[in-house]
Chain A
Amino acid sequence: MPDDSHNNPIRRQTEVDDATGTGKKDAGLSRRSFLKAASALGGAAVGSGAITGFPMIWAQNIKNVTLRQFGTGVSNLNAIAEKARQDLGINLQLTALDSDAVTQRAITQPNSYDIADIEYWIAKKVFPAGVMQPMDTRRLSNFDKISKLFITGKLTEDSEIAQGTAPHTVGFVESQNSTTFASEPTRWMTLIPTIYNADTLGIRPDLVGRPITRWRDIMDPAFKGRTSILNIPSIGIMDAAMICESMGEIRYGNKGNMTRDEIDATIDILMKAKSDGQFRAFWKSFDESVNLMASGEVVIQSMWSPAVTAVRSRGIPCKYQPLEEGYRAWGGGIGLAKHLSGLELDAAYEYIDWYLSGWVGAYLTKQGYYSAAPKTSKAYLTENEWGYWIEGKEAKEDITNPEGKVMETAGSVRDGGSYTERMGNVACWNSVMDEDRYMVRKWNEFIAS
């Protein structure tokens, strides 16, 4: 796994010191005293609080603070770190890991990071372990711009709250020192949403030979040996539940929190399909899913949105097919490590507020994700881009990714349509179940069968 910290002797020194429990403070103090001296000399440092409004002048005293952020690859992007350095002057050290490794590290090495970029279902595991601290929403000037999906669970007034670990259910805690999730929005937020999306099945329109409209189509005997689902139990079980419900075999009370009987029934259906040879393979990492699809080993499979883009960028047709039963959604956010304090904590708040202020949102939108505060990102997108990615309109000119590479040509429409059509049609969020341990055992049984 790439880890910048090993290449930097100073960083490594701090980590070594961390083990003794004293070094961190020393490093912070020296940095702080240095800064004090610097600002006294310059005498021109602009006030410590962020001045709201646009254009923003970001706090100056956080310059050169280093924050270590780790998380899944989706949002750990170097471009964001560079921009943060330009705008805020802080150094972001990014480490990307897969979601299981992220969970492990978040809990077992709480001093190894300052900011955790984790998914909401991971937060449900991590936060109760007491390794993170909630954020004071009053310190965030962009808090009110965050999509209602993360506050009340409803995108619009009349949308229904989806099953699973919906972000708003683990988005707040009772008080500053609490590790219990609050049932209502409070002043203390666990994660500031950064990036989220609605997942569905990916298909090869040139090879499936018929319209795909329902989740159950993946079990069609016509696709025997040419389908795949993902082998990450906590996500795979959701896709499986969407499939089983679509087949009419099982009615779930709550797909995101199944009973043992429901788990048994779901796994039985999967095992039967496996022994009938329905699946070609199971994938665990992003590139595996891209290769399976691009090589034609499978024609329909569970997939993530950027994987679809990756297949298409090779000139191979691939569609992120919207399905009648709705989407399986996921979302991530950034939160603060428990040990953060002082100047570094200020810097982290500043960084998070900056994250919500639009540039990052626009950057992520252009990659096919959604931003937590869509309105702020509008200023950083062209009308054409906003129309294509958010409003589901036909692209008037070519759509390029942030690096300037053409992703979609003029005239194309985003699979699934607009933001409200996609995020408003979420059937279920990625989740952790109460019967998690049992589910994993049953999943292992399925894989081993």
Chain B
Amino acid sequence: MASSRMSYLQVTPLVMVMLLFLVFPVLTIVVVSFWDFNAYSLIPDLIWDNYEFLLTSSVTLKAYLTTLFYALTTWLITFVLGFTVAYYLAFHIRSPVIQGLMFVLCTIPFLTSNIIRMISWIPLLGRNGLVNSGLQGMGLTSEPVEWLLYSDFSVILAFVHLYTLFMVIPVFNSMMRIDRNLVEAAIDAGASTWQTIVRIILPLCKSGIAIGSIFVVTLVMGDFITVRLMSGGLSASVGVLIHNEISLLQYPAAAAGAVVLLLTVLLLLTILFRFINIRQEL
């Protein structure tokens, strides 16, 4: 009895933090999403208008399709890149010193803010930018390539640039835990490199991949600044819509948008957890 009281006591600080900084804000958002509003004030109320508009508007559907497209494409690219990089680091570099050194190299882009990293693409990809003048200089194209900037391409490029490391780290971490004897046994049993990767390494990295995926997908789903800057304001993700509403004082509408986005992301994560039990794999 005493010990169970003790453990309740021990868990109290965490519970308080969670209540104060997670549960309370989320509840506030849920409550506000039912309020009414006009140009300059919020009116406490219980109306479904915000949700009704949100869920019946074609804009919402389009924004979700765009956002999911960004999330899925970014996830796919960061997964392939992240897995390859982690695999190389974990299995091809033998010396732990070089391994550590190369790992630090991977984090170098993170020494500047992500806005700077994003904006620096703009002069590179523009109509008169470095890439275009290079292509034209080499005679590969006669006209500037327009889709390099302010397009889905540039948005996804920036996402991949920003978030690949979030995939590399957890995957690398899982790979380092794999018992090397398993790989050796696979090779002894006649497995090709490809078979070893697909049958041995990939399943054993599942938890790392899941954690990386959570990072990448949630970051992309909630983003608004990358989409706005890199698409030149031409396309809108869910985050952009919410941000537009907030900046115009339409808090209840934004709150409704946030609640629906939260539910969507939770749904995605639930599906993910159906396939992978993170705790068990750790």
A residues near B (Cβ < 8 Å) are 100-101, 103-104, 107, 125-126, 128-129, 225, 228, 231, 233, 274, 279-284, 291, 295-297, 432, 436-437, 440-441, 443-445, 447-449
Q: How many A-B residue pairs have CB under 8 A?
A: 86
A444:B247 contact, CB within 8 angstroms: no
A129:B41 contact, CB within 8 angstroms: yes
Task: Choose among A233, A279, A437 the residue that contacts B39 (Cβ–Cβ < 8 A).
Answer: A437
Instruction: Give the dominant DSSP class at B's interface.
Output: loop
Q: Which B115-141 residues sit within 8 Å CB-CB of chain A? A: 122-123, 126-129
Q: CA–CA, A126 to B40, complex, Å? A: 7
Which of B54-62, B77-85, B202-210 contacts the other chain? B54-62
By beta carbon, the residue of chain A nearest B128 is A296
Check: B89 CB closer than 8 A to any chain A CB. Answer: no
Q: CA–CA, A371 to B53, complex, Å? A: 44
Kindly name the residue among B39, B241, B247 whose own CB sees the greatest number of chain A CB atoms within 10 A: B39
Check: B45 CB closer than 8 A to any chain A CB. Answer: no
B40:A128 contact, CB within 8 angstroms: yes
A447:B240 contact, CB within 8 angstroms: yes
Task: Choose among B146, B232, B248 the residue that contacts A282 (Cβ–Cβ < 8 A).
Answer: B232
Task: Choose among A126, A295, A443 the residue that contacts B127 (Cβ–Cβ < 8 A).
Answer: A295
List 27 A-B pairs, Cβ < 8 Å: A100-B247, A103-B249, A104-B247, A126-B40, A129-B41, A274-B234, A283-B233, A284-B233, A295-B123, A295-B126, A295-B127, A295-B129, A296-B127, A297-B126, A297-B150, A432-B39, A436-B39, A437-B38, A440-B244, A440-B250, A443-B244, A444-B236, A444-B241, A447-B240, A448-B236, A448-B241, A449-B59
Q: Considering the complex of A and B, which 8 residue pairs feature the smallest CB-CB distances, nearest first?
A: A281-B232, A282-B233, A448-B236, A100-B247, A125-B40, A448-B59, A445-B59, A231-B233
What are the residues of chain B within 8 A of A297 when measuring CB–CB? 126-127, 149-150
What are the residues of chain A within 8 A of B66 when measuring CB–CB? 448
Kindly name the residue among B66, B128, B146, B249 whose own CB sees the greatest number of chain A CB atoms within 10 A: B249
How far is the CB of A312 from the nearest CB of chain B, in Å?
A: 18
A281:B249 contact, CB within 8 angstroms: no
Mask: chain B, 239-261; 1 = CB below 8 Å from A; 0 = not:
01100110111100000000000
Task: Choose among A107, A279, A291 the residue that contacts B234 (Cβ–Cβ < 8 A).
Answer: A279
How far is the CB of A243 from the nearest CB of chain B, in Å?
A: 17
**Which size bracket describes the interface of B in this complex?**
35 or more
A448:B248 contact, CB within 8 angstroms: no
Given A437-B39, A444-B241, 9 more A-B residue pairs with CB atoms under 8 Å apart are A104-B249, A126-B40, A282-B234, A283-B233, A295-B128, A441-B57, A445-B57, A447-B233, A448-B235
Q: CA–CA, A437 to B245, complex, Å? A: 10
State whether A448 and B62 are in contact (beta carbons under 8 Å apart), knowing that A129-B41, A282-B234, A440-B244 are contacts in the complex. yes
Mask: chain B, 29-73; 1 = CB below 8 Å from A; 0 = not:
000000000111100000000000100011100110010000000
By beta carbon, the residue of chain A nearest B66 is A448
How far is the CB of A428 from the nearest CB of chain B, in Å?
A: 19
State whether A233 and B248 are in contact (beta carbons under 8 Å apart), knowing that A296-B127, A449-B62 are contacts in the complex. yes
Q: CA–CA, A60 to B122, complex, Å? A: 53
Q: CA–CA, A282 to B229, complex, Å? A: 10
Mask: chain B, 91-131; 1 = CB below 8 Å from A; 0 = not:
00000000000000000000000000000001100111100
How far is the CB of B57 from the nearest CB of chain A, in Å?
A: 7
Task: Choose among B53, B57, B249 the residue that contacts A107 (Cβ–Cβ < 8 A).
Answer: B249
By beta carbon, the residue of chain A nearest B235 is A448
Q: CA–CA, A41 to B31, complex, Å? A: 58
What are the residues of chain A within 8 A of B150 when measuring CB–CB? 280-281, 297
What are the residues of chain A within 8 A of B245 when measuring CB–CB? 440, 444
How far is the CB of B224 from the nearest CB of chain A, in Å?
A: 12
What are the residues of chain A within 8 A of B232 when measuring CB–CB? 228, 280-283
State whether A444 and B244 are in contact (beta carbons under 8 Å apart), knowing that A279-B234, A281-B232 are contacts in the complex. yes
State whether A445 and B146 are in contact (beta carbons under 8 Å apart), knowing that A107-B249, A295-B127, A440-B248 are contacts in the complex. no
What are the residues of chain B within 8 A of A436 when measuring CB–CB? 39
What are the residues of chain B within 8 A of A449 when measuring CB–CB? 59, 62
What are the residues of chain A within 8 A of B249 when measuring CB–CB? 103-104, 107, 125
What are the residues of chain A within 8 A of B234 when measuring CB–CB? 274, 279, 281-282, 447
Check: B161 CB closer than 8 A to any chain A CB. Answer: no
Q: CA–CA, A320 to B150, complex, Å? A: 25
Q: CA–CA, A24 to B78, complex, Å? A: 53
Q: CA–CA, A101 to B248, complex, Å? A: 9
What are the residues of chain A within 8 A of B228 when measuring CB–CB? 284
How far is the CB of B185 from the nearest CB of chain A, in Å?
A: 53
What are the residues of chain B within 8 A of A274 when measuring CB–CB? 234
What are the residues of chain A within 8 A of B241 when measuring CB–CB? 444, 448
What are the residues of chain B within 8 A of A101 when measuring CB–CB? 247
What are the residues of chain B within 8 A of A280 when measuring CB–CB? 150, 232
How far is the CB of A425 from the nearest CB of chain B, in Å?
A: 29
How far is the CB of A335 from the nearest CB of chain B, in Å?
A: 15
Q: CA–CA, A129 to B244, complex, Å? A: 21
A291:B122 contact, CB within 8 angstroms: yes
